[in-house]
Amino acid sequence: MSLEIFAIEGIGEVRPHDDLAEVIVEAVGADVLRHRDCLVVTQKVVSKAEGRLVAINPSDPLSHKPLVEAESVRVLRRRGDLVIAETSHGFVCANAGVDLSNVEEGFAALLPVDADRSARRIRERLRARIGVEVAVVVSDTFGRPWRRGVADVAIGCAGIAAVVDLRGSNDALGRELKVTEVALVDEIAAAADLVMGKSAGLPVAVIRGLDDAWFRDSSQHSSVQSEIVRSPADDLFR
Amino acid sequence: MSLEIFAIEGIGEVRPHDDLAEVIVEAVGADVLRHRDCLVVTQKVVSKAEGRLVAINPSDPLSHKPLVEAESVRVLRRRGDLVIAETSHGFVCANAGVDLSNVEEGFAALLPVDADRSARRIRERLRARIGVEVAVVVSDTFGRPWRRGVADVAIGCAGIAAVVDLRGSNDALGRELKVTEVALVDEIAAAADLVMGKSAGLPVAVIRGLDDAWFRDSSQHSSVQSEIVRSPADDLFR
């Protein structure tokens, strides 16, 4: 198996009510995307297209703080200005996903209301527009406990399994693997970030060559929300 | 920028004292690897080559438990058979990295003593053997709090920055990004896992096309241990 990963060049600033599928097709052309490509789209452009922007006072460095409180259902840690909070989706991240980078001055971006739905919508619009069935992952940049540095993870997906369950498969020595549920869409989001660059204005990447068995058609369930987000009861760290 | 990722086929069972660079060259041939390829090598084959195997009683499902205790410097959580522990390296992971999967029956594999050194050794041996300067990342499979499923991360690296510091870069709208230290080698490990498969006997992958600026020569520092592992004092979750 061999993968190819490339960023889509030429996507300009995305504005509220933009049709992201149309924006992508205009940038990449109608004949580049292929059946079973996986598109990774950053949260920032999804939030912008969906109008998840809130005006803040650009001269007050704390003016986004009430938004952070409003987006948090549970605060896990505070240190100085930093808040690690759980969002209504169940994501645990800095500032409950409220973000000022790569957003026009005077605005903060909130997470999409339902990024699985955002992914499904992009996938369906691309199918309607160019007749190609792609998977879509919406990615965001999260910190991690215990390890320095941020890494991209998935907050929504469509057309691809969020988690690949290898339980019951055999390892290379023929014995049954006990628990190996791989967070496929998180690995896909991380891989895509390698060609995006945080500041380069490349919000969409294409991964080509993923295992056919990982794709899901529209009748099959696929969701970061229900497959990746751990319930608090199931979580040793909440 | 475009990346190519492929697994190296034909690597058989690795045994103590095997020279991993030689094993890799025998499998891939002397003319496939190129300057500034990044090789991702799973912890399991590194541990095997370095003889980090300990005999256990295969008929006793708990016989590896004393090893877990010995490898732990701090236990963060216990639930049933599961122990989440900090290792002497500062990694926080299940069973302190003690692993029975893809290891011969009757043995458990421990983490390499110093996986940065393991990576450096593979990199230097490959340079000596085929005259090509590659980066090397040693990967392992860790669970995460708050999110279901495991994902591959880096436990050692050589020849490539572990963390890429984008602080002070400008975002796409020309404003300064405040903190964006990207855990590059973790994203590389995750990307490589997409072509490896947990059970397919593909312990080495090649990533080709990474940004030239991320590579480090032998005189430059590069280390998961010192760049990625968060000190407890710096950590909100310990």
Question: Is B79 among the domain residues?
Answer: yes
Please check whether residues B105 and B34 belong to one and the same domain: no
Task: Please tell me whether residues A24 and A133 are part of one structural domain.
Answer: yes
Residues A163 and A139 in one domain: yes
Instruction: Give me the pLDDT at residue A1, please.
Output: 76
Residue A212 covered by a domain? yes
Question: Is residue A199 a part of any domain in this protein?
Answer: yes
Residues 6+ apart with CB under 8 A from A24: A8, A11, A39, A41, A122, A126, A204
Containing domain of residue A203, as a range? 4-50+112-229
- CA atoms of A161 and A43, how far apart (whole Å): 19
CATH of residue B17's domain is 3.30.1330.100
Query: Domain total for chain A?
Result: 2
Q: Which of B86, B95, B165, B194 is the mutation pick for testing A, counting most A CBs within 10 A? A: B194
In this structure, the answer to whether residues B176 and B191 fall within a common structural domain is yes
User: What residues of chain A score a pLDDT lower than 70?
Assistant: 167-171, 173-179, 198-200
| A193 part of a folded domain | yes
B172 vs A195: CA distance, rounded Å? 15
CATH number at residue A66: 3.90.1660.10
Q: How sure is the predictor about B191, in pLDDT bands with cuts at 50, 70 and 90?
A: very high
- Does B132 lie in the same domain as B26? yes
Q: Are A160 and A184 in contact (CB under 8 A)?
A: yes
Instruction: Kindly indicate whether the ipTM for this predicted assembly is greater than 0.85, answering yes or no.
Output: yes
Q: Answer yes or no: do B3 and A1 touch at CB < 8 A.
A: no
Domain boundary (A93, A111, A129) is at: A111
pLDDT in the model for residue B179: 63
A180, B141: Cβ pair inside 8 Å?
A: yes
**Residues B150/B205, Cβ–Cβ less than 8 Å:** no
| Same-domain status, A155 and A196 | yes
pLDDT of res. A221: 85
Is the CB of A194 less than 8 angstroms away from the CB of B188?
yes
pLDDT at A128: 97
Task: Decide if B209 contacts B169 (C-beta within 8 A).
Answer: no
Nearest CB to A194; choose among B145, B169, B191: B191
Whether B69 shows a pLDDT value over 80: the answer reads yes
Do B27 and B132 belong to one domain? yes
Q: Which of residues 103-162 of A touch B (CB under 8 A)?
A: 103-105, 141, 144-153, 162
Do residue B210 and residue B162 come from a single domain?
A: yes
- Asked, for residue A238, whether it belongs to a domain, the answer is no
Mean pLDDT in residue range B11-17: 93
CB neighbour list of residue B201: distance below 8 Å, 6 or more residues apart? A172, B11, B12
Alpha helix stretches (DSSP H) within B107-199: 115-130, 184-196
In a domain, B235, yes or no: no
Query: B177: which 2 tokens?
Result: 């990004």
Would residue B237 count as lying in a domain? no
Q: Is A146 in contact with B237 (Cβ distance < 8 A)? A: yes
Is the CB of A53 inside 8 Å of chain B's CB atoms?
no
Residue B168: band (very low, low, confident or very high) from pLDDT cuts 50, 70, 90: low
Shared-domain flag, residues B40 and B62: no
Give residue A178's pLDDT. Answer: 63
Whether residues B123 and B42 fall in one domain: yes
**Which of B111, B132, B154 is at the close of a domain?**
B111
Binned at pLDDT 50, 70 and 90, residue B175 comes out as low
Based on the domain organization, do A34 and A122 belong to the same domain?
yes
Judge whether residue B157 has pLDDT over 90.
Answer: yes
Side chain identity at residue B137, one-letter code: V
Question: Are B132 and B184 in the same domain?
Answer: yes
In a domain, B167, yes or no: yes
Confidence of residue B121 (pLDDT cuts 50, 70, 90): very high
The last residue of a domain, from among B85, B111, B137: B111
Measured between CA atoms, the residue of chain A closest to residue B103 is A173
B49 vs A145: CA distance, rounded Å: 30
